[in-house]
Structure 1
Amino acid sequence: MKADELVAVTAQHVEKLFAGEGSGHDWWHIRRVWQNALKIGTLEKADLTLVQLGALLHDIADWKFHAGDEEAGPRAATEWLQAQQAPEDLIEQVCQIIREVSFKGAGVDTTPSTLEAKVVQDADRLDAIGAIGIGRAFAYGGYKGREMYSPDHVPLLHASFEEYKKNQGPTLNHFYEKLFLLKDRLNTPAGQQLAQERHAYMQQFVQQFLTEWHGEEQPPAAFHL
């Protein structure tokens, strides 16, 4: 199977799997990551076959929905790509992208090892910030039954992936624990440029949220921007 055909059938497969998903990790999220990864990868002169397959399969079995199993995604991607008779070296490289894409806590270095993984990670993180990132954060919080916000539960900057996986804090905390950190953790010049406006929009949203919540009172210091 030619590379462009493999990308096309993979896109069709993933769309069927994730159509209508309600946590913010749906097909449209994956499609946006795919398209942004293609844009960034073209500018960065990355291998676009790897970039596209990595983007399309990056959430095929996300650890968040598989009991924290970090290898669920690589396993599912391997099964799919082997069924399409993809070369083993390509499968290994795509799985490496999947392993390296996730945020794992404020204190954890998740810098990818290849240009292609950097591109996919940037595209995924861009979809976690800005207006769509805000919507996705609250969709996931609702899916997990979390409070929107609680002044009594301050944000935590997790020192390890295990701490991060156990986090059950309110959705607004997620902005401080992850989303506000992403702008300075993007890998490519193209990704960094795209992040600026989205980051500023998120800051404005959170400031307005806290103003409406607290009125004339001040939120706890941990929530100051």
Structure 2
Amino acid sequence: MMNLHALEQQFIAYLKATASAEDGSHDLGHFRRVWNMCRRIDAAEEGKGDLYVLLAASYFHDLVSLPKNHPDRSRSSVLAAEKTAVLLREEFPFFPADRIDAVRHAIEAHSFSAGIPATTYEAKVLQDADRMEALGAIGIARTFYTAGFMHSRMFHEEDPLALERTPDDRHFALDHFQLKLLQLPDKMQTAAGRVIAQQKAALLVSFREQMVREVIGED
């Protein structure tokens, strides 16, 4: 069986040759960070995961990633899982065939919008690792990058914290913190994931407080 490092280099070479450069939030850097976070979580969980499954799922979980405003957005992970299963069989015949179904499930279940329960340890680790990208400094950058991509506003000028209105992250990026991002630590599937997520979420809270101070002129 090919060792993990050599296999990773094969995956990277394939993605460099085929991946679109249009979405900077789902690029090769994202895949690398998810893989590194999977290993970090797994190490904290006593290394009980199948690293071959986690490696393949990390690099191919966004093989299909429809825009957030696409009507079939919730099916992205299922489509990515189907495409990955075919890819591993046809382009990477040296990948262990008996692990492909586990990779497929991990990819299907990683998505927030798909609502598919993660039933394996590897699926839970991948889900946590991918959602970690929505927190911390990377999470802040991705939130506003996506808002610009979708032509939405950074915040509601008169009520940035949505104290007297219904939060709407389709139109105001800062509302996404309240509606989704700050809820993520409690949704993590692993104990290690929850600890890391809570640390990263603290930066979002601090950032939001500073932004509001600047918006209302009290900085």
Matched residues, percent identical? 32
Query: Aligned partners of 2:32, 2:84: CA distance in 1, in Å?
Result: 17
Is the partner of 1:24 in helix, strand or coil? helix
1:169 maps onto 2:171 in alignment: yes
Contact 1:58 1:98 in 2 (8 A): yes
Match of 2:112 among 72, 79, 103: 103
In structure 2, give the amino acid aligned to 1:98: I
- 1:53 equivalent to 2:56? Answer yes
Corresponding position of 1:193: 195
> Greater CA deviation, 71-80 or 92-101?
71-80
CA deviation digits over 1:180-221, x for unaligned, max 9? 0111111212212212221111001011112211236xxxxx
CA deviation profile, 1:73-110 (whole Å, cap 9, x unmatched) = 113212321111245442221111111111129xx6x5
Q: Tell me if structure 1 keeps the 8 A contact 2:53–2:100.
A: no
1:80 aligns with 2:87: yes
Q: What is the CA RMSD across the aligned residues, in angstroms?
A: 2.5
Structure 1: stretches of 5+ with no match in the other structure: 157-166, 217-225
Select the residue among 88, 92, 102 that pairs with 2:101: 92
Cα deviation, 1:118-166, whole Å, max 9, x if unaligned, reads 111111111110111100111111111111112486326xxxxxxxxxx
CA contact (8 A) 1:23 1:140 kept: no
Q: Which of residues 196, 205, 208 in structure 1 aligns to 2:210?
A: 208
Query: SS state of the match for residue 194, structure 1?
Result: helix
Q: Which runs of 5+ in 2 are unaligned?
A: none
Match of 1:159 in 2: none
Change over 3 Å in CA distance of 1:99–1:36 after alignment to 2: same
Q: Contact 1:21/1:27 (CA < 8 Å) preserved in 2?
A: no
SS at 2:112's partner residue? coil
Q: What letter matches 1:31 in structure 2?
A: R
Name the CA distance, whole Å, in 1 between partners of 2:31 and 2:20: 10
1:4-153 equivalences under 5 Å are 4=4, 5-18=6-19, 20-44=21-45, 45-64=48-67, 67-68=72-73, 69-70=75-76, 71-83=78-90, 84-85=92-93, 86-104=95-113, 111-150=117-156, 151=159
State the match for 1:220 in structure 2.
none
SS of the equivalent of 1:60 reads coil
